Amino acid sequence: MERSLIHIDMDAFFASVELITRPELRGRPVIVAGESERGVVTAATYEARAFGIHSGMALGKAKALCPAAIRISPDRAAYSRISRGVMELFAQVTPVIEQISIDEAFLDVTGSIKRLGPARQIAEGLRQAVRDNFQITCSAGIAPSKSVAKIASKLAKPDGLLEVPPDQVEAFLRPLPVGSLWGVGPKAQAALRRLGIATIGDLADTPDALAIRALGSSAGAHLLALARGQDDEPLAVARAEKSIGTETTFDHDLPPGEEVRRAVIRLADKAAWRLREAGLACRTVSVKVRSADF
């Protein structure tokens, strides 16, 4: 039996959750970010995105692009609470769920169709249930593979649904930009551009040896398969949380030395406290530094 997978992704999740208690802000440019001018945008409504604002952008730059944007501080407890509720809704449909982030998941509904109807009907029911229970919207992609379902849900945004039947996978993929493939980042796109490869169809038609030489043996073979609609990767069900992180944004640039060391220790202590609260043991502490274009 051909698989029926649904990828569901919440629309502007953090911003949408904030608007649940601020309905008067719906339809306006809203950004979720900390108070510091050196902070970064965590999320933005589609009205704010229309000005070029996106997550990871420096708050100061976002304000310059849209001075009328309304800033809201993030409420991470609310995001976690809503996420858990949404995933519980999904679990009522199928036990085969791979949650890949706080606001998106894959569902294998192959075994649910006989009981609940076609995959499209299941996806529409879930989208309505999310809307009714949590006052937020989500988009869904339906396909026989994870990679195609994810592309479809992205194209359906915001608040839409796109189904790609098995016999239409190749026709669906071929005209899309090669960057639409899950796993093709800027570096891979640059390598493919040098070969004149712009679309997924171009990549699908590329000789294996040429693609592998440009992308490497593992990545090249994998991306060629995806471009040709060959993806039977199973869902990774019920993955245990393996890490807990903490973050902060500093009001000024930190020079190398003691101040950086103290900041790392503070963050590590905060992460260790969260691990203890969750009943987990700490084995490794890693530090990542992210800079923004100020």
**Active site residue ranges:** 104
Task: Say how many C-beta atoms besides its own lie within 10 A of residue 270's C-beta.
Answer: 15
Distance, CA of 154 to CA of 180 (rounded, Å):
9
Distance, CA of 18 to CA of 36 (rounded, Å):
19
Q: Which of 100, 93, 91 is nearest to 233 (CA)?
A: 100
What token pair was written down for 202? 């171009």
- How far out from the chain centre does Cα 60 lie? 24
DSSP H or E run through 155:
helix 146-156
Burial of 162 (0-12, 13-18, 19+ CB in 10 A): buried
Q: In the chain, what is the straight-line distance between the N-terminal and C-terminal CA atoms, in Å? A: 52
Q: What is 159-227 written as a DSSP string?
A: S-EEE--GGGHHHHHTTSBGGGSTT--HHHHHHHHTTT--BHHHHHHS-HHHHHHHH-HHHHHHHHHHH
Distance, CA of 202 to CA of 214 (rounded, Å):
14
Q: Which amino acid would we find at residue 220?
A: G
Distance, CA of 276 to CA of 269 (rounded, Å):
11
Burial of 154 (0-12, 13-18, 19+ CB in 10 A): middle
Distance, CA of 63 to CA of 79 (rounded, Å):
24
